[in-house]
Each structure stands twice: as C-alpha cells, then as structure tokens.
Amino acid sequence: MNVPAGVDQQAARPPQQQVHPKATRPLPSRLMAAGPGAGIAAHLATFGPLDAEAAAPSLPGMLEASGLTGRGGAAFATWHKALSASRSGRQGAVAPMVIANGAEGEPLSFKDRTLLANAPHLVIDGLLAVGRAVSAAQVYIYASSVSLPGVQRAVAERPRSSGIALVEAPPGFISGEASAVVNYLATGTAIPFDKQGRLSETGFKGQPAVVLNVETLAHIALIARYGPAWFREVGTPEDPGTRLASVSGGAPEHDVVLELPGGAVLTDVLLAAGTNPANVSAVLVGGYHGRWVRPEPYLIAPFGPAHRVVRPGAGVIHSIAAGQCGLQVTAGMARYLAGESAKQCGPCMFGLPAMASVFERLAARVPDPRLPSEMDRLAALVSGRGACSHPDGTARLVTSALEVFSDDVQAHLSGRCLSARWN
Ligand code: SF4
C-alpha cells in the first residue's frame, strides 16, 4: 500500500486490517451488514441513525416482545435485566450503571472481538439506548486489549458519545464474569463477588449494574430500530433472532465467525464452516464451560431437553477430528480452568485442581478403575458451591467428556487409546 508522505502509516491502514484474522469469510450478517471495519459513515448508511432518547421509553417492552436472550453465556432474558434496573433506578436513590462486556476471556471465542472490529457503532448504539432506558448514571465499555483501540476510534467518531468510559479488561477466563466486571470497575480487582441478589437490582454496594455482552447490545440496537417482529423473522419462536458463533477446530485459517439463526442445527453449522461432520469425533459447544456432544443434528438453542438441544453458551463451536483423543484435550482444558479459579471459594480452589489431576491420570491411561467415579464425586462436590458458576461450568465440561468419550475411558483404563495417534 502506498502511503503519502506525512501520513501516519498506522492510521492509513485500510479498514479491513481491523478485522480479526479469524474472520476470514464473508459474514452474511445482520450484525455486520455495514461491512468489514465499518466506521460511522458506513454504519449510518446501512442502519440509519438511532435516537436513544426517543427509543428509551419503549425499549424494555420491545426487548420483552423480541425474546432476546443474553449472548454472553447465561442466556438471561435481556428485557428483565433492563426493566429491573430501570425500576431500581426509579425507586432507589442510586442510578444504575450499564456495562458493555467485551472481555471475552473464553479461550475458544473470537466472535466478540470480531464484532467490535466490524460493528462497534451498533454496540455503542445499544449501550446508549439501554443507558437512556434505565436512566444510567454511567455507561462503560469493558473490552479486551485487542478490541479497545478500535472501540476508542469508534467512540472518537461520535463526539456526542463522549460520556462513555472505556476500560481495558484484564486477561483471564473469569474477568468477564458479570460480578467480576462490576468488581473491577469498583475496586480494580476482577474477581466475582458473592451477590446478595441480581446485579441489575442490588448491584454493587447498592448501585444496580446492567452487564450486557457486546453482541447482546448490538442486537438491542437493531431491535430498537426495526422492532421485535423484525427480530423474530429469523430463528424459532423459542429461540428468535440470530447469534454469532466462533467456529473452530480444523486448520486455524478455517476458523470463522458465523451468524446463525436461533435453533440452528449443529451438523449444518459444521458444514457451513467447511467441516464434514463425518470427519469429526466430537464437538464442544458453549466453550470451556460447555458440553461435549457427538456431531449429530442437535439444535443449538438455550432451552430444551439435553437429548435434542445443546446450549450455545458463549457461542463457541469447537470440533475435534476423528483420531484425536478427547480425553487428552479435555484434560488440558480442566487444568487450564483449575488455574483460572479466583481462589476465594474452597470447593473451587481445591476441587478444580483435584478434578484436573484425576482427569490427567485418566488421559495418561493410568489403569485405575476408580477414576471415573472419583471424577463424578468431585464434580458433584463442587457444583453449586462457588460464588460464581466456574465450578459448575468445569464440572459440566468433564462430566460431558466422560459420557461422550465413554469408549475412550474404558480403553484408557485398560492401558489403550482409541486415538489413531496412539495405536
Ligand atoms: S467459584 Fe471459583 S472462580 Fe468463582 S468466585 Fe469462587 S473461587 Fe472464584
């Protein structure tokens, strides 16, 4: 690229270079319809302006009618958060804070950074609209170091949005947990705290906090413009709209962010990402706190029976190839998660390393028949015992691995491995 003399080379980069390298395919997207690296001009040309003030009164009702659920992992009803915070703001003396959460500490996720690189103005629109709707005292964008420079440029394009506080999220799996986010803003420590009630009601030291994933806010910006009926034109009645998914597992250059309709079929998603389900041994859906399943036509949706539905969680779909040992892969994840405990709850602090050790022995083909039952015992012991869902998520990962890789477990207990690499 030729850069004229006197022009800063960094600033003169074409906008495509802001796109996360994993977003290598065209995004047939509602959310990224303004194109790669869209600045304010492309954003307004595609979506038109959004008057946050005018949208505020009807926003909670529109969100309820849309059926939008959070896209950060918990799939909580978005309207309920907004409404309870606005009630708290009206009834109490302390106005709420609203936080756009782009920390994305999940190792297999790259959809939030891709969204922030391509559609930061939709996230800002959504944040300002919710801020107005709940009469927020302060609005924040809390984003990873990868995303923050692009967000800063986007905010600078909108002088009237200068009230947004930008905060760099510290690295780590737990730093994006909602109460850890609020704790970090209040005290500088990104660890969860034991909540007395919902953050959107009781918040931190009496100040309600609405923490919304950046993708959730981008959907809100579109619902505020086009209405709940438009949002429901895609997806299913139970799972309306679209969601972004970070799809990975093959060669890294094939990792891709896809925008999926609600209730998408897992095997269709694999095919859309260029992966033949026949060549896949298992798929981790939801991320490190998610669930292993076989590559079968599960619906990807936040609600429904486990034999038919797999929850999208943080929007991660990660496949492992036939011939890869799922027990070894899971052992590495369990050890990582044990290291990410904030070490303030006993079951998490001691239980997760113990689970990781048992799983490592299983992965290493130690012929001890007590290992699976010990894993089950530890998983039951830590579940529901932490201040946050970290122990539950870790337990979900390892118990799903024992189930899906049950043949591998039996082989490992007799000193063998079904993985082609070991035979
Ligand atoms: S459960 Fe674990 S990660 Fe969560 S707050 Fe307690 S120690 Fe920290």
Which residues fall within 8 angstroms of residue 288, CB to CB, at 6 or more apart?
106, 107, 108, 173, 333, 336, 337, 393, 394, 397
- Helix 371-382 to helix 346-363 angle (10° resolution) is 160
What pLDDT does 248 receive? 94
C-beta of 344 in contact with ligand 1 (< 6 A): yes
Centre a 10 Å sphere on the Cβ of residue 245 and count the other Cβ atoms it contains. Answer: 25
Which residues are bridge partners to 97 per DSSP? Answer: 138, 209
Q: Is the pLDDT of residue 90 over 60?
A: no
What pLDDT does 83 receive? 73
Mutational test site, ligand 1, from 173, 174, 194, max ligand atoms within 8 Å of CB: 174
What pLDDT does 11 receive? 29
- 345 Cα to the center of ligand 1, angstroms: 5
Q: Is the pLDDT of residue 1 over 70?
A: no
Cβ atoms of 401 and 284 closer than 8 Å: no
C-beta of 337 in contact with ligand 1 (< 6 A): no
Q: Residue 165 and residue 53: Cα distance in Å, rounded?
A: 19
- 80 Cα to the center of ligand 1, angstroms: 25
Q: Is the pLDDT of residue 24 over 50?
A: no
How many Cα atoms within 13 Å fall on the side-chain side of residue 48?
6
How sure is the predictor about 91, in pLDDT bands with cuts at 50, 70 and 90? low
C-beta of 401 in contact with ligand 1 (< 6 A): no
What pLDDT does 356 receive? 97
Q: Residue 269 and residue 73: Cα distance in Å, rounded?
A: 19
Per-residue model confidence as pLDDT tens digits over 299-351: 999 988 988 999 999 999 999 998 899 999 999 999 999 999 888 888 889 99
Per-residue model confidence as pLDDT tens digits over 254-295: 799 999 999 999 999 999 998 999 999 999 999 999 999 999
Ligand 1: nearest atom to the Cα of 388: 4
Cβ atoms of 36 and 263 closer than 8 Å: no
Cβ atoms of 108 and 246 closer than 8 Å: yes
- 344 Cα to the center of ligand 1, angstroms: 6
Cβ atoms of 382 and 277 closer than 8 Å: no
Which residues fall within 8 angstroms of residue 104, CB to CB, at 6 or more apart?
110, 111, 112, 113, 144, 147, 176
Ligand 1: nearest atom to the Cα of 340: 3
How sure is the predictor about 421, in pLDDT bands with cuts at 50, 70 and 90? low
How sure is the predictor about 370, in pLDDT bands with cuts at 50, 70 and 90? very high
Domains located in the chain, CATH noted: 20-231 (3.40.50.11540), 242-321 (3.10.20.600), 326-422 (1.20.1440.230)
C-beta of 341 in contact with ligand 1 (< 6 A): yes
